[in-house]
Chain A
């Protein structure tokens, strides 16, 4: 059972907008930045969003992050086939004195 809660799956057709939610608590999302990672099959994770809503260079602006209270979300606009991957939210947790991951959301492009 992950500390951060994500839906196990999400899907959309090419061009659609998909939103992935991440729910936590006051000690993690409520007090700290949220980060999002993309993991393509058989590869290492890639930083997609940092500090709630910042994109590293090279990440398309189709990807956006937001945070409100103890929840966060990742939006993928203009869904493309290459966006099929697992997506993870992460935050540090003040109670655990460490970092916690969500269980991951598998995005399928129909």
Chain B
């Protein structure tokens, strides 16, 4: 079964750090670009970052550039999101999602999400 599973969410204080993981299975992970998308409580979806299959190209939304870092380990079939200098507005559900064929193509496989809460 093609699957993405996020982990690493939790409660963190403002200014703190958290590292999210996205574990892939059921497909040739090293052939696909992966994204992180979040959803604040009661709000819409927001794209955060993308990393191409070989990590050649990395993209960030302005809202997280300089604070978040995306990376991947194709040997472990995993993508990570290192989140630093967290703010209350970073609270939400974080999803990882696979691009269909090329970067910024449709995201056809999504994880179930992991919840991040930034609060003192």
Which residues of A are in contact with B by a Cβ distance under 8 Å? Answer: 2, 32-33, 35, 37, 39, 44-47, 50-51, 56, 86, 88, 90, 92, 96-104
Contact = CB atoms under 8 A, between A and B. Distances in A.
Contacts of B37: 45
B111 interface: yes
Given A44-B110, A98-B61, A32 B104 contact: yes
A78 to B, nearest CB: 23
Interface in B50-64: 50, 59-62
Interface stretch (B24-32, B41-49, B74-82): B41-49
B91 interface: no
B60 A98 contact: yes
Contact of A39 (B45, B46, B108, B111): B45
Contacts of A32: 104
B100 A50 contact: yes
Contact-residue size bin, chain B (C-beta under 8 Å from the other chain): 20 to 34
Q: Is the interface of B mostly helix, strand, loop or mixed?
A: strand
Interface of B: 35, 37, 44-47, 50, 59-62, 95, 97, 100, 104-108, 110-113
Contacts of A101: 44-47
Given A96-B62, A97-B59, A45 B45 contact: yes
A103 B44 CA distance: 6
A47 B108 contact: yes
Contact of B104 (A44, A86, A99): A99
Given A39-B45, A45-B45, A47-B107, 7 more contacts: A45-B37, A47-B108, A50-B108, A56-B106, A88-B45, A98-B47, A98-B62
